[in-house]
Amino acid sequence: MPQFRYEVKKAPGENASGVLEAETQRAAVARLRDMGYFPITVEEFSGEARRESARMRFARIGLKDRNTFFRQLANLFESGMTLTRALSTLAEQNPNPKFVAVIEQIRDDVQKGTTFTEALEQHPKLFSQMQCSMIRAGESGGMLDEVLWRIVDFGEQEEHLRGKAISAMIYPAFLMIMGTAAVFILVSFVFPKFIAVFEDFSATLPWPTVVVMSVCGFMGKFWWAVLILVAILVSMFIRYWRTVEGRLHVDTLTLKIPVLGGVSQKYVMAQFARTLGTLLDNGVPVLQAMRITVTVLSNKCVAGEVAAIQARVAEGESISTGLRDAEHFPPIVVNMFAVGEESGRLGAVTKRMADAFDIEVERAVQAMTALFEPILIVIMGIIIGFLVIAMLLPMLTLSSNVV
């Protein structure tokens, strides 16, 4: 039965879209009306349309896509182009079909009289509260182009820092994956073939060989069960991590792990200082800026501390006083905030502090990578070496007995 893609009006100011099956286009329109909708467009869902829908379903809008959007929008807006025309231009040249639909929706909302901020707030998964608050301040103050450039600077700095951390961990992760895969293949498929040879001899086998033979015997029969168990454990961890309580526990534990905890703390300090400083520099009130910062922070343990500090600031305390009693804020952060509050330049001071933490994060990531790489190589070498020696020892013993 043919499929038809539709767009309908459900209520004043509320539209919906989807796909339904019907014998003809007229039947599809009648069915939508029977459901209480007012059809706007109903068109046949062809093979090309299906492929386009699949591309949109699997397309992802990442941080780089959003940064490019704001940079191009800032350039067009600064050149004197109207906001709606700039959005239309970006929709035409954007290669991501999912993002194109979002941009077109934002443009349509702005054309209907909605503010740019309100149009962005309809997509909370793409545009953060920080970005929306800054744009609201820019719209009300008549400096939207300047605010857009500040958003670009903030986003690109975040992208740069995140990219450095990810690229630095690619090689250690590759070593771990390949080493684990090599051990799994040896134990599950290669070494079990030697077990039948050793069992034909009645000689006493060395204890390393006995241990490896026991492991290989189990893995040779139940390697599939081990894979299923690992998949279940990983799935359970991910589901637990996605809960509020689980995310809090994992983030708290991350801060306590040697080396990794230091890198994580520096990263979240840079995130905290840059977000709060950028918001304050754009005229966002302190309490609102702190509330938005809580939602931006990637570490929920530190975010909880910032939320507690915000409550104390609402009661009249200074930010530096609240930071002093927090567990995961180093003294340098407390002192810098105190200086910023005393001088009345808290936004500028915190942004300068964020730049300093960015440099520390890069150095800490490089040091951690330099430490992890040889450790992983040594650990995997010991494991594989033990397995190989355990298989060679019986051969050497048997050959000496033959001689």
Residues 78 and 225 in one domain: no
Same domain, yes or no: 174 and 78 = no
Residues facing 3 on adjacent strands: 21
Kindly state the DSSP code that residue 137 receives in the 8-state scheme. Answer: H
| Whole-angstrom distance, CA of residue 354 vs CA of residue 350 | 6
User: How far is Cα 399 from Cα 229, in angstroms, rounded to an integer?
Assistant: 40
Closest CA to 129 of 296, 346, 10, 363: 296
Q: Are residues 231 and 301 in the same domain?
A: yes
291 and 166 together in one domain: yes
> Which structural domain, as residue segments, surrounds residue 295?
159-403
Check: CB of residue 289 under 8 Å from CB of residue 280. yes
Q: Say if CB 260 and CB 168 are below 8 A apart.
A: no
Give the separation between CA 220 and CA 200, rounded to whole angstroms: 18
Contact 197, 209 (CB under 8 A): no
The total domain count for the chain is: 3
Q: What is the pLDDT along the chain (403 residues), one digit of tens a residue?
A: 566 777 777 655 566 676 777 777 788 778 878 777 777 777 776 554 445 454 555 457 888 888 888 898 888 888 888 888 888 888 888 888 888 888 888 888 888 888 888 888 888 888 888 888 888 888 877 788 888 888 888 888 888 877 777 777 787 788 888 888 888 888 888 777 777 677 666 667 778 878 888 888 788 788 889 889 999 999 999 999 889 899 999 999 988 888 888 888 888 898 888 888 888 887 788 888 898 888 888 889 999 999 999 999 998 888 888 898 888 898 988 898 898 888 888 888 888 888 888 888 888 888 887 888 888 888 888 888 888 888 777 777 665 555 4
The answer on 377 and 231 residing in a single domain is yes
Same domain, 234 and 285: yes
Q: Which of 43, 58, 73 is the last residue of a domain?
A: 58
The whole-angstrom separation of Cα 152 and Cα 267 is 19
CATH number, domain with residue 39: 3.10.20
- What's the pLDDT at 218? 83
One domain, residues 120 and 79: yes
Residue 10: what pLDDT? 67
CATH number at residue 281: 1.20.81.30
Query: What is the tens place of the pLDDT at every residue in 330-372?
Result: 898 889 889 888 888 888 888 888 888 888 888 888 888 788 8
What pLDDT sits at residue 231?
92
H-helix or E-strand containing 4? strand 3-11
What's the pLDDT score for residue 305? Answer: 92
199/291 same-domain check: yes
In this prediction, residue 297 carries a pLDDT of 87
